[in-house]
Structure 1
Amino acid sequence: MTDTTTLIDHSNEAEFGDYIALLKPRVMSLVVFTALAGLFVAPVSVHPFVAFTAILFIAIGGGASGALNMWWDADIDAVMRRTAKRPVPSGRVTAGEALSVGLALSVLSVLMLGLAANWVAAGLLAFTIFFYAVVYTMWLKRSTPQNIVIGGAAGAFPPMIGWAVATGGVSVESVLMFVLIFMWTPPHFWALALFMKDDYSNAGVPMLTVTHGRKTTRTHILVYTLLLAPMALALAATSIGGPLYLAMSVVLNALFIKGAITIWRRDEDAAVADEYKVEKKFFRFSLVYLFLHFVALMVGVALADFGVGTW
């Protein structure tokens, strides 16, 4: 009698990396960085261990939002080239697993942040998770071309949470950091939508490029970029601003506006011909733009501690 060996296909089984991908580590890195910036520039010092613990649980909360987003958006992700290989649409992680991970990490992150820091920060984190998972993912994303405009609030809360970890409250400074990210989000994502071609229309997502066309989207990018500049510059006049931040912000906003004007003037045929190189460049620069604004805030505050770079 000969034994037979059954060959099992393990190619679709989840690995540890798939559960990490479920948490959207790239998005999480932005959450961690801006939350850390909000914590660092706050006027109240925080014990390093408390700071580390707080940032860790803010990151976990951001990851929980990502898992819940992947659970709900599995059908959309499956038809978009940019997202088709994510753990849930690819079948490596089930939707139920994604939901369980998202809910468990949501509860864990909020409770632990409250215990490690304070309940104001924990409340802001809980609202951020709710806003991203429910208000944006379940409602706005599929119902209105303003999805990115309103939904951008979810990504704008982390510096407020970091600030609240240190101070236990909200202030003009933390609100303006929120506004900076909130106003930056639409031009950032609309630039992405321009060169994602038909992904959003195929998925039935009412992105501005789908509902109002690419020409209108280019105009909106310019308008929001012009509205963003004074909001970004306003931080220079606060207690966490200063000459260094002002100089950096002036340069960055001049370059950002220049890029937005270039995109506004672009003919769609020319964009297709050069494979949206200008739009892709603007999208990449938008990441640099946000990063350097928060770096300037942190460096400015660090210099101010030594009596340098203050007004």
Structure 2
Amino acid sequence: MTDFTAIDTPHEAGMGDYFALLKPRVMSLVVFTALVGLLVAPVPVHPFVGFVGILCIAVGAGASGALNMWWDADIDAKMKRTEGRPIPSGRVQPGEALGIGLALSGFSVILLALATNFFAAFLLAFTIFFYAVVYSMWLKRATPQNIVIGGAAGAFPPMVGWAIATGGASIESVLMFGLIFMWTPPHFWALALFVKSDYGNAGVPMLTETHGRDATRTHILVYTILLLPVAIGLAFTSIGGPIYLAVAVLMNAWFLKGAYDIWRRDDAASEADRHKVEINVFKVSLYYLFAHFCALLLEAALRLYGLGGW
């Protein structure tokens, strides 16, 4: 938990420091998947309403990031990857981050309810709550399954986008959720394999620390196998099609090959090439999600001309 003792500020915080609180890189992924969920939905949305809806999702994601940084400032200060963040570096005070996170949370949810519908607003509110409270305040420090369960927070945006258009949920939006949910553990565990000391120093019970790197390699392979039917299954829904299926088959084969290569390795091999395979699989995982959602967008665009789908 964050120490509320005042932090000596080396210089006055600038706009860039406050923007960094919102985790813009994470926000970009949230906005992209939410936009896809909105655009592939079967109900057309007025461009202005769609713009306001995506803006609310972006602001809500930023609010979650600020609340996460407020709560995790103590462990961020112990990790090389995060020690330069605005709060542990002293550029932004914890109370400021908390205030920004709460204000943006309320603003985004209320505006989304007024501009679109209450179901979409409820999903956004639940997403913020899940990331800030369930994941950040509880799961992250309590269990090595933090990434597995906590991954739901990052999987909700396409469901919110879909709900903006339709006012509800469906098998399509649930499978988009499932795609991100099942992708998250192998994605982050691959990262944990080559930044393992960071989590240990911060006392975060990442799987690499609690069960060891060999067990983590096995988990990566298992979750990658479980991810495959979710990704392929989406191809046979109303938003899928042959193009998406081709992309899903290729990307899952690539990802699965990488997970298998990680599983075959041991610590000696990983250290010898400075985690080359693990780093490559992490990069592949980034391409993986982008490719799947781009394929869904392409299918939706083709359907406008009677060409997409089955």
Give the 5 Å matches for 1:218-233: 218-233=217-232
- Report the secondary structure of 2:57's partner residue: helix
Opposite residue 106 of structure 2, the aligned amino acid is V
Match of 1:166 in 2: 165
Matches of 2:198 and 2:75, distance apart in 1: 9
- Report the secondary structure of 1:198's partner residue: helix
Q: 4+ residue stretches of structure 1 with deviation over 6 A? A: none
- Report the secondary structure of 1:35's partner residue: helix
Correspondence 1:38 to 2:29: no
CA gap of 1:10–1:151, structure 2 versus 1, over 3 A, is closer
Opposite residue 54 of structure 1, the aligned amino acid is G
Match of 1:54 in 2: 53
Q: CA deviation at 1:197?
A: 2.6
Matches of 2:306 and 2:240, distance apart in 1: 14
Match of 1:85 in 2: 84
Match of 2:104 in 1: 105
| 232-241 vs 9-18, greater mean Cα deviation | 9-18
Match of 1:13 in 2: 12
Opposite residue 56 of structure 1, the aligned amino acid is L
Opposite residue 28 of structure 1, the aligned amino acid is M
Tell me the matched-pair count. Answer: 303
Match of 2:268 in 1: 269
Per-residue CA deviations over 1:180-222 (Å, capped at 9, x if unaligned) read 0000000000000000031001100000000000000000000
Give the 5 Å matches for 1:101-180: 101-180=100-179
Q: CA deviation at 1:310?
A: 2.4
Match of 1:204 in 2: 203
Correspondence 1:195 to 2:167: no
Per-residue CA deviations over 1:206-258 (Å, capped at 9, x if unaligned) read 00000000000000000000000010000011000000000110000000000
Kindly name which structure, 1 or 2, has the bigger radius of gyration based on alpha carbons.
1
Opposite residue 123 of structure 2, the aligned amino acid is L
CA gap of 1:78–1:10, structure 2 versus 1, over 3 A, is closer
Opposite residue 197 of structure 1, the aligned amino acid is K
Task: Give structure 1 stretches of 5+ with no counterpart.
Answer: 1-8
| TM-score, normalisation: structure 1 | 0.96
Opposite residue 87 of structure 2, the aligned amino acid is V
Determine if contact 2:36/2:293 at 8 Å carries over to the other structure.
Answer: yes
Opposite residue 159 of structure 2, the aligned amino acid is M
Matches of 1:298 and 1:197, distance apart in 2: 36
Per-residue CA deviations over 1:94-127 (Å, capped at 9, x if unaligned) read 1100000000000000000111111110000000
Matches of 2:219 and 2:148, distance apart in 1: 11
Match of 1:3 in 2: none
Matches of 2:309 and 2:95, distance apart in 1: 52
Matches of 1:272 and 1:100, distance apart in 2: 43
| TM-score, normalisation: structure 2 | 0.96
Task: Give structure 2 stretches of 5+ with no counterpart.
Answer: 1-7
- Report the secondary structure of 2:97's partner residue: helix
Matches of 2:9 and 2:82, distance apart in 1: 22
Correspondence 1:63 to 2:62: yes
